[in-house]
Amino acid sequence: MALVVKKFGGTSVGTVEKIQLVAQRVIAQQQQGDQVVVVVSAMAGETNRLVGLSHAITKTPEGREYDVLVSTGEQVTISLLSLAIQNMGGKAISFLGHQVKILTDEAHSKARILSIEGERIHQELGQGKVVVVAGFQGVDRQGNLTTLGRGGSDTTAVALAAALKADICEIFTDVDGVYTTDPNMVPHAKKIDRISYDEMLEMASTGAKVLQIRSVEMAAKYQVPLEVRCTFNDNPGTLVTQEEAQMESRMVTGVSYDRNEAKIAVREVPDKPGIASKIFTPVSEANINVDMIVQNVSSKGHTDLTFTVPKSELQQSLKIVEPIAKAIGAKQVETSTEIAKVSVIGLGMRSHAGIAAKMFETLAQDNINVQMISTSEIKISIIIDEKYLELAVRILHDAFELGN
Ligand code: ASP
Ligand code: MG
């Protein structure tokens, strides 16, 4: 007997018919003798609809009320799924986050899970029930509802799997697993059978949208085996797991991309100690995530400082950076939103030399100019002109022979 946590995303519970299909899958697994906990998201589009309603009232909804609103989508799906299971002759019980004490910090709309009380869930499982838990939500110490950030149901599922010491956490979605790159962009992209936590984390952080970043961090921390698979077929998915020797033998595991960054260039900054901190400290204090930073070689005592921030935080960043630029005597501040980030990822970078060289040669052959570069031990990211994004992803995917 295994204890399995199964998470179904919005497209998997997008209609009553799909919810019934999920109910069948869940019952089938239970009939094999396993204990099943199910985490569901809101019906596809529902959370966006709720966010839209709040924005129709105010551009900046207050955090607590925003969370009360946007967490309601999951209350609908846990109930419908439980009813569907019961209606097929199974036993099921639904829980909201606070009912199983998914305790979080107070950071509304991006709360972190601190602990989960597993006893009630174990009790219900012991009575032969399927336990259906609302994804994406929790409760803080004062009893306020909180949400975990968009896509947060993945994190609920992994946290539950860790707290309940489940044997596996399965993330069901509308694709067969994690692909070498976005199959919508490169149709011959291949499904990856096994990928390490670190590689998956880099993929998620650089734009691959299959899993919420935090869920991967948590899976790595608690060593929860994670399988990404499709709701609508029985194909084996992608197992996200500990590093295995054979994973290092492939040079590159995947190519990811991100269109959501914007570039800020502060031109002709006096090249003196302390200037970078004058710019970046206030930006980070405003909780803005600076991703890449490049400082040009200085000429005549001046240098250019270029960095990227999320597009959604560009205006807020400029409000901070422009007055500082003026104060330190920089010539001007320029921005661009027509950029894209492309990353190649693989544990193999540790042992194979020349991956960066191959990447840059490939891009040069098609005359794609690299504007910025950043690397980690297992990743190389570049910023290019957005109009070359698809071309870059395709030629890199081919150059590293990732396709079918
Ligand atoms: N329903 C939430 C969202 O759309 C959480 C999730 O889907 O994981 O972001
Ligand atoms: Mg989702």
pLDDT digits (tens, 9 = 90+) for 358-378: 999 999 999 999 999 999 999
pLDDT of 185 > 80? The answer is yes
Report the alpha-carbon distance of residue 168 to residue 35 in Å, rounded: 11
Q: Is the CB of 10 under 6 A from ligand 1?
A: yes
| pLDDT value for 10 | 97
Report the alpha-carbon distance of residue 35 to residue 399 in Å, rounded: 45
Average pLDDT of the segment spanning 279-291: 92
Atom of ligand 1 nearest to the CA of 212: 8
Report the alpha-carbon distance of residue 361 to residue 207 in Å, rounded: 23
Q: Is the CB of 110 under 6 A from ligand 1?
A: no
Q: Encoding tokens for residue 44?
A: 């596809």
Nearest ligand (C-alpha, residue 78): 1
Residues 6+ apart with CB under 8 A from 219: 158, 161, 162, 169, 197, 225, 226, 240
Q: Check residues 272 and 314 and name the one with the higher pLDDT.
A: 314
pLDDT of 386 > 80? The answer is yes
pLDDT of 22 > 90? The answer is yes
Q: Encoding tokens for residue 9?
A: 């995303």
Q: Which of 6, 39, 41, 213 to mutate to test the pocket of ligand 1 (most atoms within 8 A of CB)?
A: 41
Whether the model pTM is above 0.85: yes
Nearest ligand (C-alpha, residue 70): 1
pLDDT of 9 > 90? The answer is yes
Nearest CA to ligand 1 atom 5: 151
Nearest ligand (C-alpha, residue 46): 1
Span from the CA of 41 to the centroid of ligand 1 (angstroms): 5
Average pLDDT of the segment spanning 187-197: 97
pLDDT of 170 > 90? The answer is yes
Q: Is the CB of 47 under 6 A from ligand 1?
A: yes
User: Is domain 3-174 classified as CATH 3.40.1160.10?
Assistant: yes
Report the alpha-carbon distance of residue 243 to residue 259 in Å, rounded: 29
Atom of ligand 1 nearest to the CA of 156: 8
Nearest CA to ligand 1 atom 6: 151
pLDDT digits (tens, 9 = 90+) for 36-89: 999 999 999 999 999 999 999 998 899 999 999 999 999 999 999 999 999 999
pLDDT of 21 > 90? The answer is yes
pLDDT digits (tens, 9 = 90+) for 202-247: 999 999 989 999 999 999 999 999 999 999 999 999 999 999 988 8
Place of tokens 């206030």: 282
Q: Is the CB of 41 under 6 A from ligand 1?
A: yes
Task: Answer whether 175's CB lies under 8 Å from 237's CB.
Answer: no
| pLDDT value for 137 | 98
Nearest ligand (C-alpha, residue 215): 1
pLDDT tier at 385 (50, 70, 90 boundaries)? very high
Q: Is the CB of 237 under 6 A from ligand 1?
A: no
Order the strands of the 145-147 sheet from edge to edge: 113-116, 102-104, 137-139, 145-147
Span from the CA of 245 to the centroid of ligand 1 (angstroms): 35
Domain chopping of the chain, boundaries = 3-174
Q: Which of 39, 74, 136 to mutate to test the pocket of ligand 1 (most atoms within 8 A of CB)?
A: 136
Share of the chain above pLDDT 70, in %: 100
| pLDDT value for 356 | 94
Span from the CA of 137 to the centroid of ligand 1 (angstroms): 10
* 342: phi then psi, degrees, rounded to nearest 5: -120, 135
Average pLDDT of the segment spanning 337-351: 96
Task: Answer whether 368's CB lies under 8 Å from 392's CB.
Answer: yes
| pLDDT value for 297 | 81
pLDDT of 298 > 80? The answer is no
Report the alpha-carbon distance of residue 230 to residue 172 in Å, rounded: 5
Share of the chain above pLDDT 90, in %: 92
Q: Is the CB of 70 under 6 A from ligand 1?
A: no
Average pLDDT, the chain: 96
Span from the CA of 243 to the centroid of ligand 2 (angstroms): 27
DSSP 181-217: S-TTT-TT--B-SEEEHHHHHHHHHTT--SS-HHHHH
Average pLDDT of the segment spanning 17-45: 97
Span from the CA of 362 to the centroid of ligand 1 (angstroms): 37
Span from the CA of 189 to the centroid of ligand 2 (angstroms): 22
Q: Is the CB of 73 under 6 A from ligand 1?
A: yes
Q: Encoding tokens for residue 303?
A: 């240098």
3-state secondary structure 255-304: EEEECCEEEEEEEEEECCCCHHHHHHHHHHHCCCCCCCEEECCCECCEEE
Average pLDDT of the segment spanning 332-347: 97
* 395: phi then psi, degrees, rounded to nearest 5: -70, -30
Q: Is the CB of 136 under 6 A from ligand 1?
A: yes
pLDDT of 187 > 90? The answer is yes
| pLDDT value for 163 | 98
pLDDT digits (tens, 9 = 90+) for 235-269: 999 999 999 988 888 899 999 999 999 999 999 99
